[in-house]
Amino acid sequence: MKLIVAPLHEVAGLVRRHQPSHLISLASPGHVDAPLARSPPHRLDLRFNDIAAPREGLTPPTEADVAALLAFAASWDGTRPLLIHCWAGVSRSTAAAYVIACARAAPGREAHWAERLRSLAPTATPNPLIVALADRLLNRDGAMTRAVAAIGRGAETAWGQAFELDLSPEKEPRR
Edge-to-edge strand ranges of the sheet holding 163-166: 42-47, 22-27, 82-86, 2-7, 163-166
Asked if 152 and 128 touch (Cβ cutoff 8 Å), the reply is no
Dist. CA 98–CA 95, nearest whole Å: 5
Q: Is the pTM of this model over 0.85?
A: yes
β-pair type (42-47, 163-166): unpaired
Strands (E), 8-159: 22-27, 42-47, 82-86
Q: Residue 68 — left, alpha, or beta (φ > 0 → left; ψ -120 to 50 → alpha)? A: alpha
Q: Residue 125: what pLDDT?
A: 97
Dist. CA 113–CA 119, nearest whole Å: 10
Strands (E), the chain: 2-7, 22-27, 42-47, 82-86, 163-166
Task: Note down pLDDT in tens along the chain; length 175 residues.
Answer: 999 999 999 999 999 999 999 999 999 998 766 666 677 879 999 999 999 998 999 999 999 999 999 999 999 999 999 999 999 999 999 999 999 999 999 999 999 999 999 999 999 999 999 999 999 999 999 999 999 999 999 999 889 999 999 998 755 544 4
Closest CA to 67 of 133, 129, 127: 133
First to last CA, the chain: 21
